[in-house]
Structure 1
Amino acid sequence: MVALLDVCDLAVTYHGTRGDVPAVRGVDLTLDVGETLGIAGESGCGKSTLALALLRLLPAGTTVTGQVLLDGDDVLAMSWGQLRAVRWAGSSIVFQGAMHALNPVHRIGRQIAEPILLHEEVTEAQAHQRAADLLTQVGLPTWRAASYPHELSGGQRQRVMIAMALACSPRLIIADEATTALDVMIQAQVLDLIAGLVAERGIGLLMISHDLSVLSSTCARLAVMYAGRVVEVGPARSVFTSPAHPYAGALAAAFPTIGDPNSRGRPRGLGGDPPDPAAIPSGCPFHPRCPVVLPECSTADVGLWPVDGGDRHAACVRAAGAPPLSSGSRCGTGQ
């Protein structure tokens, strides 16, 4: 059975004045229809680059290798005409900054109707009616279709972005930090809305955030990225509560427990910063910051290895029997 989204050995390299900068390094991910997958990690770990690469939204001149199979078709090999047909209709994206993503001089209804008019044979009246129906579906009154983006609150603009993402009934939605700029109450409402729409429509959701607690409450599976690679992947609740990779454990420990004075008084952060993508350390890239580093971590570069009977995978020498990182690609193998 063909997966909705199958990312294999995806690598993204930016080219700048300092030379080549590998932002994503050999990522493998799979997502089926109706599934939810979260991508977590600190700023600079490659999450947003990964999201943009899935729909070829990266700057011109960026080198992207590997495969991004959407319903079995490789997005990276598509012509511009094929790619234009896939965007919005096959897969859509919800960006973090709705105020910057929306056109400030066009009314909300027109912006939601635009992809419908581009991708479907409907009249302008039918497209605007669909836009009004989508506003209702995301919890906004239909009269808001006549509003400009600056006339809406942050939460309302984010709901408009979700309505736009749903306009052409895509099978996959990519949400890149879609709730980061919202207050906690509006964030909870938007997360409930997204979860409800995924369940109701049976679409696939790839949600990117630095907040493990948000992802664990919204997504069934979770992948943790560090230095451009996935270092742990598995059921979201398991990764959050009993992480197998030290970096995933550090991310989970950074969240205080509400009502626990010890947790509030002694927050458990992680010292240091993620490595410069242009100067990834040898061995495990996390070893300079790892609280449980072993001598071999500075030289042994391991790939994802099954833990907990294969339910999860972690890229750590502490995973029993972890093998050396394979240089082979599974692209085109159907695995």
Structure 2
Amino acid sequence: MTAPFRPLPFLSEARAEQAAGPRLRALRQAAQRAREAFTSEGAATALATCDLVSFPYPTVFAFSGAARSPAPYVMVRHRMQVVRFQQEGTERVLLFNPSDYERGHEAPFFKALREKYGTFVTTQVMTRRHGTVQAHLEALGLTPEDVDYLAFDHLKAQDIRRWLGGDGQPAYFPRARLLVQRAEWDAVRCPHPLERVWYVPEGTGGVPPERVELLSGDTWLGQGVALLSTPGHSPGNMSLAVATADEVFVMSENGVATESYTPLQSAIPGVRTFAEQMGWEVVLNGNTRENSLEQYSSMIVEKVFAGRARADGGFVNVHPSSLLTRAVMAPGLAPTITLPPPMSGAFTPVAAPRHAA
């Protein structure tokens, strides 16, 4: 781990517990203590949420089969977070989930959708583009040279070669480094058959090794910003935690809706009944079931770390990276509540000169 980074306290000790049940209990307690340490050191400078693209996602995956609807797909809106924060006296900029969604559609799952429904239907009817990474940064007054770090909750459906260079392509972000869990980097470079359908072939091909920072566990990046290790949805899944003056936001792919973390409050047909029958405290975004125990525990860490939402204290402040949205094509699958997107502070042009992270 590079010098400016440090591990979040308490969580790694809890993860050392071998048995899944006791490990969950230990993680729940550790997440609360880690949250208190995290918030005690102050807030991030600014946080913005930027809509990128809406696309269909199988209903059976969205709520692990709990939702009852004839619709085969829900609609989700994929979002990027832009965070500015202090790191040892230097202002840094992190992009979380800056998805190059045009290239991400080359993942086998989305290619199969195009073959089934045709290119026009999948790209013009079932998909809605809200904005590009480049346009959002320009609107915030940021240049490619201002960006220090890129990170993704996972590398499924991601192609990072345009951003970091690879296979002979120049890098759009000349200074940025990719922050990724070692387990995720290993997975994307040699995916298991159960995961292969989600990864873009050669999506990391030729990326210079010096542009990649491999992480091992929960990582505190700087004042008010951390990457939580939340494995399960993928081997090296991560969630972004940002402290503001008033609350802690957690951005995650482990659930598709706010109510994924409080399913007993869900009005989506089937979800509450399923959670009651199963005794589940959370309902997984379950497109990869091989690590469901870990994913469940990760969602508990996220909801404890986030705490209650200021906008509605009946729900927790976890914000899905790909958020369930209301759609005519998905009857009965509208979200019970949609919290305001994570925003805090204001972005102003970064003062030059910048030095490398």
TM-score, length basis structure 2: 0.29
Quick one: higher RCO (CA 8 Å, sep 6+), 1 or 2? 2
Larger Rg: 1
- The answer to which structure has the higher helix fraction is 1
